Chains A and B, each alone.
Chain A
Amino acid sequence: MSEEIRVGVYVCHCGSNIAGIIDVKSVAEEASKYPNVVVSREYKYMCSDPGQALIQEDIKQHNLNRIVVASCSPLLHEHTFRNATEKGGVNPFLFQMVNLREHDSWVHEDKEKATKKAIALVRAAVRRVALHSALERKEVPINPDVLIVGGGIAGIHAALTLANAGKLVYLVEKEPTIGGHMAKFDKTFPTLDCAACILTPKMTQVRAHPNIRLWSYSEVAGVDGFVGNFRVKVKRKPRYVDEEACIGCLACIEACIYKEGKFPDEFNMGLSKRKPIYFPFPQAVPQLAVIDPETCIEFKTGKCKKTCVAACDRNAIDFTQKETIEEISVGTIILATGFKAFDASRMPEYGYGTLSNVYTALEIERLVNSSGPTAGEVVLKNGQHPKSVGIIHCVGSRDEKTNKWCSRVCCMYSLKLAHLLREHTGAEIYNFYIDMRAPGKGYEEFYDRLLQEDGTHFIRGRVAEVTDWAMTEEEEGRLVIRVEDTLAGFVRRIPCDMVVLSVGLEPTPDAQDVRRMFNISCSTEGFFLERHPKLAPVNTFTDGIFLAGTCQGPKDIPDTVAQAGAAAAEALALIDRGSIELEPNTAYVVEDKCSGCHTCIALCPYNAISYDEEKKVAQINEALCKGCGTCVAACPSSAIVQRLFEDAEILEEIEGVLL
């Protein structure tokens, strides 16, 4: 490079975040002594407007042609400062960022050592940036179609938002119907409005919307491509009922040779029975019957009278249906795959599955629901009405042995169920809690209201066990809840007729597979990881893939809907920009160094490298290259160069940090 290198170095205080530990003044002073450095300053907040302006003025005044900013993580602000550099009239890639905050001041306590490290890091950047060369920004167009995975309230809300904005949405749901967990709820806290009343209208909108392709009973089978241009394979499971022909008249179900339901009904948490051909629930969307081949006689024996076929005047029933794979192209993806309720039998001390009349909260939601298995009548296994009910909070939450996290919704839905159960049965209700958590609009007020309701009691303490071991007459034939009442300060045995376990929220069992398929990360507990907990809560580390609802972590309906809206907005922002900028960190082959040894060709996961039979050299298709640099490291004659990560640049960095 013949031009004279003129570097400007800017050390950020980030208030006291950096300056509190690192002596920014001496860092800037040291930097000023390095070759090529023309100006070296420290400033309170480099990311602020005046901070960026500072860079631009210096570029003009000292005609700088290289910029180094030592502040926070490039993953956070590299973009900001590249733009500032460009505004100042210097190519944005003649810039290098130093991570003094996340990698130094925030993780070290010894000021002297932290400062020494900072100086080393800055030195490395100064040496490196001198070798940077101007690069073109790389843009790719965004396909405007969107894929949404999961048809719970999050997926539904995001789908409608995007569809209303005129975008084509593919909504893929694994179950035969959309609606998710919310469809199973009776009422919603704290307003107690009925879940179905507010959800089903949205479900029907989805069904009716011209911009939404609803694929229920389907799963994503494969994803490749990248932001703006994802190619997705969707597996459509056979429901053995022709979607076009079926009008959901239920005649087939009537006609099934099983006169009564015989198999556990998924929607009612197994508290009622369904037939092999069934309708998930009355307001299901799409309004289509589905046949369960596990239980259908025709599938098991091939000798069924097929009364259902006879009953369908539209010949919708088709036992020959096969699984199909649809391929679609989309530009953005929203994951709304939801949660799994904690399996209460993992805590045998609470007797779920061994003691009758121990229920999970979801089962109670169905029991108190007027369209539920008992038409809303809450009865015990012996047909009687409970006189006392114990509700145990934090089952599978805030527990070292199961899940450490707070599931955020249990306190509130427990209050809701306490109210509903009291309303339906008049029973005495005992809430067993560790802490009551009611942080939300109208939540604390709702808690207050429950505290006022007579017959509803609150006992602070983690329940030790639920047992049918009676010590007194009163306890005979009932469930006994043993708990240390931490307010009264002694152990109590409280006899109840019914016990409700407020189970927590967990990642879905297939979360890890989904994560791999979409190439995103999970946080330690297994929920999908957002790009930034505060500043990018619905983004992932993979551009173009967004998160909505409980797949990112436990949350209630208002938060879920809000997040779904946010995810839709992020997707829209990308789509309407029309194109997205990619890092120009692709690799290329220097032809007069390549000996055509073929080492690199098989290494590329994107098949971006090919062999030019004419020139007898390798060639990289930069449209396909994602910039990992694997081939660069492998090339035995250093004939491949990766932009932004050239060998020489990295070697300079190595020498630089070794102060």
Chain B
Amino acid sequence: MSDFEPKIVAFFCNWCTYTAADLAGTSRMKYAPNIRVIRVMCSGRVDPQFVLEAFAKGADGVLIGGCHPGDCHYQRGNYKARRRILMLQRVLEEFGIEKERLRLEWISASEGDKVRKVANDMTEQIARLGPLRRGDEHG
């Protein structure tokens, strides 16, 4: 593996996944330092523009973490997130960006270990895909 360090922007919902990430911390679980978490109140707050902006501004991957279906603190926000992300993945592929670079994970407040697993797994996966080439061909 080259010394490529993937940059992954993560949007974690305040109630489940952000809390789970805190739990991973208090439990001193170790995972790849490539994930940078941005806290939102609900995965339903994640605007597709954020994801595209992240890719355009240098992210190699984007991770969205929300409560499991049925567990959303705001009842149904995560269902919107699910539909948006699935559509976005299709569009990304047409933009020539592998859909693996955008990932949606349901991680409940008690699943600190899942945060660790997902962070490591995604970092490894993105590392395999290599750096995201921006769409700025010239000439």
Write the chain B residue with the least CB distance to A121: B36
Given A103-B21, A107-B31, A630-B42: A524 in contact with B15 (beta carbons within 8 A): no
**Top-8 shortest CB links A-B:** A102-B25, A629-B45, A630-B44, A628-B74, A657-B36, A628-B42, A106-B25, A605-B75
Asked if A651 is at the interface of the complex by the 8 Å CB criterion, the answer is yes
Asked if B58 is at the interface of the complex by the 8 Å CB criterion, the answer is yes
Given A75-B18, A107-B28, A108-B30: A633 in contact with B45 (beta carbons within 8 A): yes
Asked if A221 is at the interface of the complex by the 8 Å CB criterion, the answer is no
Q: Is the CB of A120 within 8 A of B36?
A: yes
Asked if A627 is at the interface of the complex by the 8 Å CB criterion, the answer is yes
Across-interface contacts of A519 in B (CB, < 8 A) = 73
Asked if A177 is at the interface of the complex by the 8 Å CB criterion, the answer is no
Given A110-B33, A113-B5, A529-B109: A630 in contact with B19 (beta carbons within 8 A): no
Asked if B96 is at the interface of the complex by the 8 Å CB criterion, the answer is no
Q: Is the CB of B22 within 8 A of A521?
A: no
Across-interface contacts of A104 in B (CB, < 8 A) = 33
Q: Is the CB of A650 within 8 A of B42?
A: no
B100: min CB distance to chain A, Å = 19
Interface residues of B in 21-52 (CB under 8 A from A): 21-22, 24-26, 28-31, 33, 36-42, 44-50
- Number of contacting residues on A, CB 8 A? 52
Asked if B7 is at the interface of the complex by the 8 Å CB criterion, the answer is yes
Asked if A114 is at the interface of the complex by the 8 Å CB criterion, the answer is yes
Asked if B80 is at the interface of the complex by the 8 Å CB criterion, the answer is yes
Q: Is the CB of B53 within 8 A of A605?
A: no
Asked if A6 is at the interface of the complex by the 8 Å CB criterion, the answer is no
B41: min CB distance to chain A, Å = 6
Given A521-B109, A628-B44: A117 in contact with B28 (beta carbons within 8 A): no
Asked if B71 is at the interface of the complex by the 8 Å CB criterion, the answer is yes
Asked if A39 is at the interface of the complex by the 8 Å CB criterion, the answer is no
Report the bound CA distance from A653 to B84 in whole Å.
Answer: 21
Asked if A654 is at the interface of the complex by the 8 Å CB criterion, the answer is yes
Asked if A126 is at the interface of the complex by the 8 Å CB criterion, the answer is no
Interface residues of A in 528-546 (CB under 8 A from B): 529, 533, 541-542
Asked if A409 is at the interface of the complex by the 8 Å CB criterion, the answer is no
Report the bound CA distance from A658 to B74 in whole Å.
Answer: 29
Q: Is the CB of A103 within 8 A of B57?
A: no
Write the chain A residue with the least CB distance to B44: A630
Asked if A585 is at the interface of the complex by the 8 Å CB criterion, the answer is yes
Residues of A within 8 A of B (CB): 73-76, 99, 101-104, 106-110, 113-114, 116-117, 120-121, 124, 516, 519, 521-524, 529, 533, 541-542, 585, 603, 605, 626-630, 632-634, 642, 645, 647, 650-651, 653-655, 657-658
A192: min CB distance to chain B, Å = 37
Most buried by A among B29, B38, B84: B38
Across-interface contacts of A107 in B (CB, < 8 A) = 24-25, 28-31, 33, 116
Q: Is the CB of B110 within 8 A of A521?
A: yes
Given A101-B25, A521-B108: A603 in contact with B5 (beta carbons within 8 A): no
Q: Is the CB of B71 within 8 A of A627?
A: no
B63: min CB distance to chain A, Å = 12
Given A603-B80, A645-B45: A117 in contact with B33 (beta carbons within 8 A): yes
Report the bound CA distance from A99 to B115 in whole Å.
Answer: 16
Q: Is the CB of B25 within 8 A of A658?
A: no
Across-interface contacts of B29 in A (CB, < 8 A) = 107
Using an 8 Å CB-CB cutoff, how does the interface string of B1-15 with A read, 1 for contact, 0 for none? 000010101000011
Name the contact of B9 in the complex, choosing from A73, A523, A654 (C-beta under 8 A): A654
Report the bound CA distance from A628 to B54 in whole Å.
Answer: 21
Across-interface contacts of A627 in B (CB, < 8 A) = 41
Name the contact of B37 in the complex, choosing from A103, A522, A529, A634 (C-beta under 8 A): A103
Report the bound CA distance from A647 to B110 in whole Å.
Answer: 29
Given contacts A102-B22, A658-B7, 15 further A-B contacts (CB under 8 A): A75-B18, A102-B25, A107-B24, A107-B25, A107-B29, A113-B5, A114-B33, A516-B71, A519-B73, A541-B19, A585-B41, A628-B44, A630-B45, A633-B47, A650-B47
Q: Is the CB of B25 within 8 A of A521?
A: no
Asked if B59 is at the interface of the complex by the 8 Å CB criterion, the answer is yes
Across-interface contacts of B53 in A (CB, < 8 A) = 651, 654-655
Q: Is the CB of A103 within 8 A of B25?
A: yes
Report the bound CA distance from A519 to B74 in whole Å.
Answer: 9
Q: Is the CB of A529 within 8 A of B110?
A: yes
Across-interface contacts of B14 in A (CB, < 8 A) = 75
Report the bound CA distance from A655 to B9 in whole Å.
Answer: 10
Across-interface contacts of A516 in B (CB, < 8 A) = 70-71
Q: Is the CB of A647 within 8 A of B33?
A: no
Across-interface contacts of A533 in B (CB, < 8 A) = 26
Q: Is the CB of A629 within 8 A of B42?
A: yes
Across-interface contacts of B25 in A (CB, < 8 A) = 73, 101-103, 106-107
Name the contact of B110 in the complex, choosing from A523, A585, A632 (C-beta under 8 A): A523
Write the chain B residue with the least CB distance to A108: B33
Most buried by B among A627, A651, A654: A654
